[in-house]
Amino acid sequence: MPYLIDGHNLIASLHDIHLDDPDDEARLIDLLRTFCAHTGKGLTVYFDQRAPGATNPPTLGGLRVRFITPPRTADDAILAHLHRLGREAHNWTVVSSDNLIRRAAIQAGARSINSQAFAQLLEKEPEPVPTEKPSAQLSDDEIATWEAIFKQRGKNGGND
């Protein structure tokens, strides 16, 4: 299930990133990319106040980043996105602590989660991804049992 995220709202809910940090958006984007990589979820994050001349970063690893040019706001863009989704909104989750946005998400049929709850998901240590096949530890008795089974199948021509 993909997410629509109110970026600055989420930053305000995180422990390690602060709105007065000049790199707050970039740090959140890195955190969200990691989340996408570990979960396989798609995310679209909206931020207010695109810098003059700046462009939206490319979509990478399931993360779309959108900076909104005034006079529109990230809230306006999220509401418009919900409207464009139409009946597909039920497949999405909106992340915001703004009550107007959360109500609009629910009215559109989307799920809603507040920024604090999503921040906890982001700050949770990700489960390690297995890098190789786990080794099976068989006892000597188990090995002997399997050898007997395979020898018996060999004698029967594999037709048990």
* E strand segments, 62-133: 63-68, 93-95, 111-113
pLDDT over threshold 90, residue 147:
no
Structural domains in the chain plus CATH codes:
3-128 (3.40.50)
Contact assessment for residue 41 and residue 3, using Cβ atoms and an 8 Å cutoff: yes
Residue 52 half-sphere exposure, CB side, CA atoms within 13 Å? 0
Of 157 and 58, more confident: 58
Mean pLDDT of the chain: 86
pLDDT at residue 19, as a whole number: 92
The per-residue pLDDT for 6 is 97
Quick one: pLDDT at residue 114? 95
Whether residue 159 is predicted with pLDDT greater than 70 in this model: the reply is no
Which has more pLDDT, 69 or 139?
A: 69
Looking at residue 97, what is its pLDDT? Answer: 94
The arithmetic mean of pLDDT across residues 21-45, rounded, is 91
User: Could you give the 3-state DSSP secondary structure of residue 56?
Assistant: coil
**Dist. CA 135–CA 49, nearest whole Å:** 52
Q: Write out the two tokens for 26.
A: 């970039």
Q: Mean pLDDT over residues 5-21, rounded?
A: 94
Residues in the chain: 160
Residue pair 47/68 in contact by the 8 Å Cβ criterion: yes
Percent of the chain with pLDDT over 70: 84
CA distance 64 to 53: 19
At 18 the pLDDT is 92
The amino acid present at 40, given as its one-letter code, is: G
Pairs from 56-60 (Cβ < 8 Å, separation ≥ 24): 57/29, 60/33
Digit-coded pLDDT (tens) for 76-106: 999 999 999 999 999 999 999 999 999 999 9
pLDDT of res. 80 = 97
